């Protein structure tokens, strides 16, 4: 598949900074989960603002830098700060980390996000391994390819849960329902999403998983439940709870990602 030209020039820039032509893992850090960057050893951090042709992340809780280094002896490139459709990026720009993973011949792509819990058994702070997604027929025009694709995350979700339990991290499992945002949902929408089979709702990840599948990159995704979705409790939704939940689960999230970098 033909990648956009700006990916080639970003790659040239990254190679000049000392990032190798082949990396073991690419990690996309969700809202509030940027602290994982501190776990990367011998690191080289490059702010997005220093990378020619790179979009800038505008969301609070996303610092906007690329961190390269070692995790469990594996070369790892982390995106601390992602690009959401609701910020005004095209779908093609939202999947830039996936295109970079492809151009750097990454062996695996690990995606994380903050999400609202739809499933009534979920609690704030739960880590949900994504076994499937619902995109409600939103036309995710992230690439020029019209290649047919099929997403089957169930086998990889099994492996992620196995690795999590070896690392002593408890996980839930479920379907991630993608919304474009920027608004939070209404209680009626969440009720409808529950009937559709959604367990968690969020504004990222699905375009990235689809693009990775088209490009044949092995990928897995995990949601941190940062709030009960609208109408589940009486609590008003705001961005502060994203930070709180992430702070609470920082250690377990890091253990899980390290396990996945090493063993998935």
- What is the closest distance, in whole angstroms, from the C-beta atom of residue 215 to ligand HPA in the complex? 25
Among 81, 174, 202, 259, binds ligand HPA (CB under 6 A): 202
Q: What are φ and ψ of residue 108, in 5° steps?
A: -150, 155
Given a contact cutoff of 8 angstroms between Cβ atoms, the answer to whether 21 and 15 are in contact is yes
Nearer to ligand HPA, 202 or 259 (CB): 202
Note whether 201 binds ligand HPA by CB under 6 A: yes
- Spatial separation of the C-alpha atoms in residues 201 and 127, rounded to whole Å: 13
Q: Quick one: which segment of 85-93, 138-146, 223-231, 249-257 binds ligand HPA (CB under 6 A)?
A: 223-231
Nearer to ligand HPA, 23 or 179 (CB): 179
Nearer to ligand HPA, 90 or 235 (CB): 235
- What is the closest distance, in whole angstroms, from the C-beta atom of residue 249 to ligand HPA in the complex? 14
- Spatial separation of the C-alpha atoms in residues 43 and 36, rounded to whole Å: 12
Q: Quick one: which segment of 88-96, 147-155, 166-174, 199-207 binds ligand HPA (CB under 6 A)?
A: 199-207
Q: Quick one: which segment of 20-28, 76-84, 196-204, 246-254 binds ligand HPA (CB under 6 A)?
A: 196-204
Q: Tell which positions 59-88 bind ligand HPA, by CB under 6 A.
A: none
Q: Which residues pair with 130 in a beta bridge?
A: 174
Per-position b or e across 67-88, b if 16+ CB within 10 A of its CB? bbbebbeebbbbbbbbbbbebe
- What is the closest distance, in whole angstroms, from the C-beta atom of residue 32 to ligand HPA in the complex? 9
Among 151, 237, 248, 250, binds ligand HPA (CB under 6 A): 237
Note whether 226 binds ligand HPA by CB under 6 A: yes
Note whether 219 binds ligand HPA by CB under 6 A: no
Window 132-161: contact mask with ligand HPA (x via CB under 6 A)? ------------------------------
Q: How many residues bind ligand HPA (CB under 6 A)?
A: 13
The H-assigned helical ranges of 32-79 are: none
* Long-range Cβ pairs for the range 187-191 (8 Å, 24+): 187/230, 187/231, 188/231, 189/230, 190/116, 190/118, 190/229, 190/230, 190/231, 190/232, 191/231
Note whether 116 binds ligand HPA by CB under 6 A: yes
Measured CA angle at 67 (ends 35, 57), to 5 deg:
75
Note whether 203 binds ligand HPA by CB under 6 A: yes
- Spatial separation of the C-alpha atoms in residues 112 and 116, rounded to whole Å: 13
Q: What is the DSSP string of 10-33?
A: HHHHHHHTT--S--SEEEEE-TT-
**Contacting positions for ligand HPA (CB under 6 A):** 114-116, 179, 184-185, 201-203, 226-227, 229, 237
């Amino acid at each position: 598949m033909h990648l956009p030209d700006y990916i080639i020039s970003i790659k040239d820039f990254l190679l000049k900074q000392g990032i190798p032509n082949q990396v073991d893992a690419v990690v996309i850090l969700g809202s509030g989960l940027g602290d994982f960057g501190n776990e990367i050893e011998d690191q080289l951090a490059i702010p997005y603002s220093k990378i020619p042709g790179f979009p800038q992340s505008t969301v609070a809780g996303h610092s906007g830098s690329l961190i390269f280094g070692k995790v469990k002896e594996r070369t790892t490139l982390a995106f601390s700060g992602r690009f959401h459709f609701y910020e005004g990026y095209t779908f093609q720009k939202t999947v830039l980390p996936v295109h970079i993973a492809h151009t750097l011949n990454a062996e695996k792509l690990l995606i994380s996000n903050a999400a609202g819990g739809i499933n009534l058994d979920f609690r704030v702070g739960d880590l949900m391994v994504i076994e499937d997604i619902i995109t409600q027929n939103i036309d995710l025009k992230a690439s020029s390819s019209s290649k047919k694709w099929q997403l089957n995350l169930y086998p990889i979700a099994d492996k992620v849960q196995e690795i999590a339990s070896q690392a002593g991290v408890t996980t839930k499992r479920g379907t991630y329902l993608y919304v474009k945002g920027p608004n939070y949902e209404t209680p009626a929408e969440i009720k409808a999403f529950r009937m559709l089979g959604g367990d968690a709702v969020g504004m990222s990840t699905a375009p990235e998983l689809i693009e990775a599948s088209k490009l044949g990159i092995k990928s897995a995704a995990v949601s941190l439940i940062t709030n009960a979705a609208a109408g589940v409790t009486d609590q008003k939704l705001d961005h502060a709870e994203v930070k709180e939940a992430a702070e609470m689960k920082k250690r377990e999230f890091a253990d899980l990602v390290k396990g996945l970098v090493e063993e998935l």
